[in-house]
Every structure is written in structure tokens, then in C-alpha cells.
Amino acid sequence: MWNEAVHQQRSCRKPTFGKLSKLLTEARARSSWLRDGSQVAQQQTLRTYALAFQHSFRVKGRGRPRPKRRKDTLPSLEYTTRGFSIRDHRLRLPGGVSIPVVWSRELPSDPTSVRVYQDCLGYWHASFVVRRDTTPAPEANGTIGVDWGVTTTATTTDAVYDLPYLGHRKRCAAELAKAQRRMARRRRVKGARPSNGYLRAERQTARIAKKAARQNIHDARVWVKRVVDNHALIAVEDFQPKFLAKSRMARKAADAAIGIAKRELVERGLRAGRKVVLVPPAYTTMTCSQCGTRAKNRLGLGVRVFRCDTCGYTACRDRNAARTILATAERNRAGADDVRHAITSFRDGARVRSEPEIPRLPAVGKR
């Protein structure tokens, strides 16, 4: 359905859900295999596509939706209220499909939709959209600045809240390499069906990689909770990982999973009603957090200590950057209104959800 919608782009310049579902009705009348499938799931795919298409205009750098290839797309289907039901603890889908679900927890309310998908390990999941009451975050009035890095994943204004480099991927690197070698040994020629031994080794490789990824997410969330619970203003470096991904620190930078930590921090901070400010990273390292003077020369990556020529303030390079980030956010607090941008986040290729506005400060001068 998705690829069919993409191919309609020539005839249907601005695909809306209405236009696409009209096409679906015609297509269902023509071909019987489409009629056999669930209409709700087909419509939902089109709805997702229409949203993705609209979204591609709003976010700079995001192209139009592209066709999905079976080779590298995991199966995923979404059903809305009309398309599924839960009876006797089983999930029932159209076409007489009844799935014995292993429930991770009780649903707090009646679900409005369910997404059934397979992960890279081959396990199937059902993810429900439910309404639930939020627990109010504790009162806090602290402020914090966060600077991302490789030696320490997150350096904050207060050393107590630093997130150290955890090295989950590094720890299992040898094990992963072993599993990948096993895969390479068992690989058959191109075009031939892979052997069972190869598939087993492939699953093992995926399991090791997935475990490290899960540990990263878990630790990021534990850290984020501590930060969010104790601070009212959170100034976050608007880190763009592109530069690090091209450097010789790429492996370690990827291991640190800065992107996950940043996303969780922004999301959970907003959810708790905290003020989250994204500060552009330009000049944060070379500006003195005490007197605000910007150094003439750029600090090389090897220089770990910042020294201000004007006031003589000396601090750890990252700590100074975190303080500068916080100072920038505090200084621009009043003026942040006119540079606000609404940010919509696009999740799982599925939903467009508008989030509360995050003020983004303009970059100071040229980079």
C-alpha cells in the first residue's frame, strides 16, 4: 500500500488521505487480493503515508516518502478501533486472526489503536495507544546546563549529574565480532537460501547488538529522570552528531548514544513541564562562562582545560561549556519568544504528534 501510494505521486501531486482512500476503493474493486486484506490496516497505511508526506514539507532536509523495500523493512501494521478487539486476553484482528498476547502490563484504558510489528530479532510486538493519567513531577527550582561529549557522555554544570561514558557496545565488541565471524563463515553464495546455521548466527549477532542498545536506552532514562526531577530549567546543547560520526571517534561516539540521551531529556523534560532550551553549540567551548568573553582562537580537541585570558577563570573544558550553555539559555530567557519554532516529532513513520514548543536560540554569528 505504501509503495503504491508513493507511485501515485506523479498523478496525485498532493496526496491527502481522502484522495488516496478513493484510489484504494477503486483498487479494491479491481483486484481480489486487496479485497482479502483488512481495509482498516490498508487505510491506516495510507493515513500514515499522507501524514509523512505533509511532514516532509515542514521539516527541512526531510525528503518525500520513499518506497519501502522488503529486504530492509520490518513488517508493521496499524489497526484503529474498528479493526481490532481484545477478548479473553487475546488480540483479535480482521480475517479471523486471534493472537495470544503476553501482556507486559494491564491497559490503563481502552486502546484507540494497535500497531503490530516485528523487531530485528524476529519477535512480534503489539503496541497499544491508550490514555493515561500523568503523575505530576516534583517541585524543583534548580537550573542545569548539559554539554555532550565523547569522554563523558554528558557533562553538566553540576558534577553530580554527569552521565559517564558507559561503553555498553565496547564491552560486547569481542562477542559481537565472534558472532559476525561465525556469520561470515556460514555465508552461502549470493542467491542461495541461507543455511540454518547462518540464520542462527545472524539472530545471535542481532541479539548482542540489541542488548547494548537497550542498555543505552535504560541508562539514559535513569539519568534523565534524575536530571528532570531536580531542575526547572534545562539548557541542552543542540548537538549535531554528524561531525563526530565522520571523525576517528565515530565508534565511541556511536557507543555513547548521545542522540538517545538528548531525545529522552528533551521529551521527558517537556512532559514534566520543565523549561527546556536547545542552545546551538557554536562557540560554547571557547566562551568564558564567568565573564562571557570569547577566546580568539578555537580550543583544539586535545586541550581539556579552559583558561580565560581576560579574567583568568580556569575550568574543565566541558564543564565551562555546560556553564556557558546554561548562561546563554538564562540570558536569552526573555527574548526566546520571538525565536520559537514549533517542533513536531515524527515517530516510527507512524504518527505526527505536535509537541509543546521548544525555544531554540539563534546561533551567534557564523560558525
Binding site for Zn ion (CB under 5 A): 288, 290-291, 293, 308, 310-311, 313
Instruction: Give the span between the Cα atoms of 97 and 187, in whole angstroms.
Output: 36
Q: Tell the smallest beta-carbon distance from residue 327 to Zn ion (Å).
A: 11
For Zn ion, the closer of residues 291 and 339 by Cβ is: 291
Is beta strand 97-100 parallel, antiparallel or unpaired with respect to 142-148?
unpaired
For Zn ion, the closer of residues 288 and 325 by Cβ is: 288
Q: Tell the smallest beta-carbon distance from residue 314 to Zn ion (Å).
A: 10
Are the CB atoms for 324 and 332 separated by under 8 Å?
no
Q: Tell the smallest beta-carbon distance from residue 291 to Zn ion (Å).
A: 3
For Zn ion, the closer of residues 146 and 308 by Cβ is: 308
For Zn ion, the closer of residues 121 and 291 by Cβ is: 291
For Zn ion, the closer of residues 305 and 342 by Cβ is: 305
Residue 356's nearest CA partner among 364, 365, 345, 348 is 345
Q: Tell the smallest beta-carbon distance from residue 237 to Zn ion (Å).
A: 20
Q: Tell the smallest beta-carbon distance from residue 323 to Zn ion (Å).
A: 11
Are the CB atoms for 257 and 244 separated by under 8 Å?
no
Are the CB atoms for 80 and 40 separated by under 8 Å?
yes
Cell numbers 505526527: residue: 352
Grid cell for residue 114: 494497535
Are the CB atoms for 176 and 205 separated by under 8 Å?
yes
With H, G, I as helix, E, B as strand and everything else as coil, classify residue 351: strand
